[in-house]
Amino acid sequence: MNIHEYQAKQIFAKYGVATPRGIIANTPEQAARNAEELGGDVWVVKAQIHAGGRGLGGGVKLARSKDEVKQLANEILGMNLVTHQTGPEGKLVQKVYIEEGADIVDELYLGIVLDRAKEMPVIMASTEGGMEIEKVAEESPDKIIKIAVDPAIGFQGFHGRELVFGLGITDKKEQSKFIKLASALYTLYLENDAEMIEINPLIKTASGDFLALDGKMSFDDSALGRHQDIEDMRDISEEDADEREASQYGLSYVSLDGEIGCMVNGAGLAMGTMDTINYMGGTPANFLDVGGSANAQTVAKGFEIILKNPRVKAIFVNIFGGIVRCDRIANGILEATKLTDVNVPVIVRLDGTNAGEAAEILKAANIPNIIVADDLGDGAAKAVAAAKQA
């Protein structure tokens, strides 16, 4: 689950991570009143969407008068903001964050993500604050400091010293402030079951203080039951409607840009299926994991969600029958075609318990648009061929 910048900063405040003062607004008039309440003579008007790169897309602008705050808020609210993370379809801006100006001396990057290979949270820092971290990683990987923190010992002084030395922070007071901030961010990460925290930029002011000028956070959906306060921050208008509907039926669905719909059980097999489709010259239209208990209802709902995408020209069903027998899955697929109008070729590869019986059931049904595959490679090739023929 993702949250907005202003919500991330509310959480930052609970852990002592300093940010500029700001107030959320839904109308240009409210934005102007917020500027009045904040005081000062410089404000930043920030679009609030679940995506990075807002500044480059025209969603973050500086205002030097309350009238300009109102004017910029009017321009940004209701705009379809396109960034490198939204895709070409962009996102509708429904609220803006009015924030006081800051005295910026330097810009840094600070973030925490889970490194699944190391099985530990990794703190990343860089002197290239304000830049896209992906671009920095590609062009100047030596400028990114990565420090894995073993949860068994937690954030220690040596972690902090490695960070400040790597960033070239030499002033003792500034070193102490930065280490305290990094420690607080790590505590926040663990205590809230976060998946990712990113501050870009983290600024240093003329007084040597560090402020989170931006904030981006995502959380483990499976842990939200422990964090009702974070669950309450969910903005469903920012989430893909099909992904949200799929989750209500226990399906893990992510929309992609290709032409071949994928229905698979197990995240690892789903990733392997998409890779094989790409290898065979096709493009997957989605990631869809139906879990370990595929039945007629879940398969039918999967078909329904996949076929909402007008680009889909074929569907590849790749199921491994371990706990669930393949013959039951085959009957479930046939029943699902009665529940949902499946108007594209469906290539089915079933392996595991009773796979032979399942193949016979599908062939005996004699449904023209259901094509039985022998293995993963054969199924992917047939799916790509069917999509191209369509």
User: In CATH, what number is assigned to the domain containing residue 197?
Assistant: 3.30.470.20
Q: How many Å from the N-terminal Cα to the C-terminal Cα in the chain?
A: 36
Whether residue 23 is predicted with pLDDT greater than 90 in this model: the reply is yes
Looking at residue 130, its pLDDT comes to 82
Same domain, 137 and 193: yes
Helices H, strands E: what count in the chain?
A: 13, 18
360 is in an annotated binding site: no
Residue 91, by phi and psi: left (phi above 0), alpha (psi -120 to 50) or beta?
beta
- Inter-axis angle of helices 267-279 and 376-389, nearest 10: 60
Looking at residue 228, its pLDDT comes to 95
Looking at residue 265, its pLDDT comes to 87
Domain that residue 70 falls in = 21-101
Sign of CA dihedral 85, 88, 93, 98: positive
272 is in an annotated binding site: no
Q: Mean pLDDT in the chain?
A: 92
66 is in an annotated binding site: no
Q: What is the DSSP letter of 239?
A: S
Coil/strand/helix, residue 285: coil
How far is CA 52 from its chain centroid?
Answer: 11
Looking at residue 170, its pLDDT comes to 94
- Inter-axis angle of helices 172-191 and 5-14, nearest 10: 110
Give tens-digit pLDDT for 257-291: 899 999 998 889 999 999 999 999 999 999 999 87
For the chain, how many structural domains are there in total? 3
55 is in an annotated binding site: yes
Same domain, 135 and 54: no
Same domain, 385 and 247: yes
Please work out, in degrees rounded to the nearest 5, the angle formed at the alpha carbon of residue 106 by the alpha carbons of 100 and 107.
Answer: 75
How far is CA 66 from its chain centroid?
Answer: 34
Same domain, 3 and 55: no
Same domain, 274 and 182: no
Give tens-digit pLDDT for 291-318: 766 667 788 888 889 998 999 999 999 9
Give tens-digit pLDDT for 25-62: 999 999 999 999 999 999 999 999 998 889 888 999 99
Give tens-digit pLDDT for 137-194: 888 888 999 999 999 999 999 999 999 999 999 999 999 999 999 999 999 999 999 9
Give tens-digit pLDDT for 59-91: 999 999 999 999 999 999 999 999 888 878 889
Looking at residue 185, its pLDDT comes to 97
Q: For residue 163, what are the CA distances in angstroms to 42, 118, 209, 352?
A: 32, 19, 16, 50
260 is in an annotated binding site: no
Whether residue 387 is predicted with pLDDT greater than 90 in this model: the reply is yes
Compute the chain's Rg from CA coordinates.
25
Same domain, 69 and 144: no
Q: For residue 25, what are the CA distances in angstroms to 62, 233, 261?
A: 16, 16, 40
Active site residues: 109, 198
99 is in an annotated binding site: yes
103 is in an annotated binding site: no
Residues 12 and 188 sit within 8 Å (Cβ to Cβ): yes
322 is in an annotated binding site: yes
Q: Which residues of 43-77 are buried (b: 16+ CB within 10 A; e: fewer)?
A: bbbbbbbbbbebeebebbbebeebebbbbbbbbbb
Phi, psi (degrees; rounded to nearest 5) at 36? -60, -45
Same domain, 54 and 44: yes
> Percent of the chain, pLDDT > 70?
99
* Kind plus residue range of the DSSP H or E element containing 277: helix 267-279
